[in-house]
């Protein structure tokens, strides 16, 4: 490794250490790391800006603005109360219902959009029941990343893989979608073992939930109707943005703009509702990871995975699955996937059947996001929402739940791929 590669890795490790220690706010750590890389000339200013994924940033800002407007209608509280009544006030049933809902929505929406919609519902209903919302939010984070793995449009890595490998929506549903059903079922059982048996709510509180009138939570009926219509538009927009040739950030920002116009809300108040610390965190993290990409570190990691197998396709499949999962727990999965795609394509050109490798890369990169609090955008966003409501989720606290669940998910994926392709 040359000096620039060493510096980029050192900065990344220091940023991760600062985040894990929680002695420095993750936003400060990420932004500081990016600044250091520019000051040490590992990256120029233009290169640093070039590594910022403005599509992701645009989606984050757009959907945060969108949700901030929708929230003022009372829609989230309405849905939360309705769901709680369907579950008869039972907290475990509510958690299960929300987890499945999150997974299904994440298959068709951006994961960040999904948690922005469902997260406030969980906070609202747990507030009514008087219980800790953190287990609910943790289950939603995990469900969002699992559900996003199921379809072509559920997670950016899948979009990249589908485009380069010529794989369509149905291909993903059949291959990764089948695995996701199994994984989600097993993970929900784990949720019950971890939290479901311990959730004790007084009968009177459950009865109080059943007596709630969800219609009274609606603060602005006109805005609520507009919100429901626009949510439908957003779903359609994200579903078909690829075929329309429109970036997902345009869908998000356009939807937010329309809601700001038709919602007739206080714009300054809505803008303040954006999690700007989260936006800055991602900006800094993109630059830090970009430093390793610019210096060739990520390429070295990808080549090491290939060389370690000696050309054995089955071993390579397993190594790509586990390697992409573990790396995606700490690194942004997009640069890694972008590195692996040309490597797999080159193997395909040499005559190797790489079908299994595409699915290994997809499952590993998407499910790996559950490993740590910074493994996926949804993790960071929902933890930010939780902290804003007085329930911070620490890196270590998440790691105790997320990393074992990630390992379990990847283990199931390993068995699934071996059965399918061995």
Of residues 299 and 222, the one with the higher pLDDT is 222
What pLDDT was estimated at residue 257?
92
Counting residues of the chain whose pLDDT is more than 90, the rounded percentage is 31
What pLDDT was estimated at residue 57?
84
Are 160 and 338 within 8 A, CB to CB? yes
What pLDDT was estimated at residue 156?
77
Residue 110: half-sphere exposure toward Cβ, Cα within 13 Å = 31
What pLDDT was estimated at residue 192?
93
What pLDDT was estimated at residue 289?
83
The stretch 381-402 carries a mean pLDDT of: 90
CA separation for the pair 285, 45 (Å, rounded): 15
The closest of 414, 406, 166, 409 to 314, measured between CA atoms, is: 414
Counting residues of the chain whose pLDDT is more than 70, the rounded percentage is 98
What pLDDT was estimated at residue 208?
75
The stretch 375-388 carries a mean pLDDT of: 86
- pLDDT band with cut points at 50, 70 and 90 for residue 332: low
Of residues 349 and 254, the one with the higher pLDDT is 254
Any idea which of 33-37, 232-236, 388-392 has the lowest mean pLDDT? 232-236
Q: What is the pTM of this model?
A: 0.77
Sign of torsion over alpha carbons 383, 142, 367, 67: negative
The stretch 36-49 carries a mean pLDDT of: 93
Any idea which of 56-60, 143-147, 285-289, 371-375 has the lowest mean pLDDT? 56-60
pLDDT tens readout for residues 267-312: 888 888 787 888 898 889 889 888 988 898 877 876 776 777 776 8
What pLDDT was estimated at residue 49?
93
What pLDDT was estimated at residue 370?
94
pLDDT at 157 over 70: yes
The stretch 89-115 carries a mean pLDDT of: 86
CA separation for the pair 183, 410 (Å, rounded): 9
Using DSSP's 3-state secondary structure scheme, residue 23 falls into coil
Q: For 130-145, give one letter per residue: b (16+ CB within 10 A) or e.
A: ebebbbbbbbbbbbbb
Using DSSP's 3-state secondary structure scheme, residue 52 falls into coil
The stretch 324-332 carries a mean pLDDT of: 84
- pLDDT band with cut points at 50, 70 and 90 for residue 409: very high
pLDDT at 138 over 90: yes
Any idea which of 208-212, 273-277, 319-323, 400-404 has the lowest mean pLDDT? 208-212
What pLDDT was estimated at residue 126?
87
Of residues 98 and 235, the one with the higher pLDDT is 98
Query: For residue 48, what are the CA distances in angstroms to 289, 293, 377?
Result: 10, 11, 19
pLDDT at 234 over 70: yes
CA separation for the pair 222, 90 (Å, rounded): 31
What pLDDT was estimated at residue 264?
84
């Amino acid at each position: 490794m040359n000096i620039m590669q060493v510096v980029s890795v050192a900065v990344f490790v220091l940023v991760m250490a600062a985040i894990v220690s929680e002695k420095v706010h993750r936003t400060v750590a990420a932004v500081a790391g990016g600044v250091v890389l520019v000051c040490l000339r590992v990256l120029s200013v233009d290169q640093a800006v070039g590594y910022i994924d403005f599509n992701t940033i645009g989606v984050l800002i757009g959907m945060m603005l969108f949700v901030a407007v929708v929230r003022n209608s009372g829609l989230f509280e309405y849905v939360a109360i309705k769901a709680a009544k369907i579950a008869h006030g039972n907290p475990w049933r509510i958690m299960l219902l929300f987890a499945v809902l999150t997974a299904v929505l994440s298959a068709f929406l951006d994961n960040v959009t999904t948690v922005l919609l469902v997260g406030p519902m969980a906070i609202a209903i747990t507030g009514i029941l008087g219980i800790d919302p953190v287990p609910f939010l943790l289950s939603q984070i995990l469900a969002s990343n699992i559900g996003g793995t199921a379809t072509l449009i559920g997670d950016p890595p899948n979009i990249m893989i589908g485009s380069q490998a010529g794989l369509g929506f149905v291909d993903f549903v059949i291959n990764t979608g089948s695995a996701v059903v199994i994984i989600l079922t097993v993970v929900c059982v784990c949720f019950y073992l971890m939290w479901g048996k311990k959730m004790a709510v007084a009968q009177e509180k459950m009865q109080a939930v059943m007596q709630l009138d969800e219609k009274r939570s609606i603060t602005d009926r006109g805005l609520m109707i507009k919100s429901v219509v626009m949510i439908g538009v957003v779903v359609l927009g994200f579903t078909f943005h690829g075929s329309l040739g429109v970036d997902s950030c345009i869908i998000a920002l356009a939807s937010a703009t329309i809601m700001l116009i038709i919602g007739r809300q206080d714009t300054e108040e809505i803008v303040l509702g954006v999690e700007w610390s989260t936006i800055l965190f991602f900006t800094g993290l993109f630059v830090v990871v970009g430093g390793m990409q610019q210096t060739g570190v990520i390429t070295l990691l990808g080549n090491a995975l290939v060389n370690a197998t000696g050309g054995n396709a089955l071993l390579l499949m397993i190594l790509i699955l586990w390697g992409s999962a573990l790396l995606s727990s700490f690194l942004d999965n997009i640069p890694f996937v972008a590195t692996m795609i040309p490597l797999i394509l080159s193997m395909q050109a040499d005559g190797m059947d790489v079908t299994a490798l595409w699915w290994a890369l997809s499952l590993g990169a998407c499910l790996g996001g559950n490993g740590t609090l910074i493994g996926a955008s949804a993790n960071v966003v929902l933890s930010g929402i939780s902290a804003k409501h007085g329930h911070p989720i620490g890196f270590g606290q998440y790691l105790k739940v997320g990393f074992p669940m990630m390992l379990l998910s990847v283990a199931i994926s390993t068995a699934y791929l071996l059965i399918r392709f061995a």
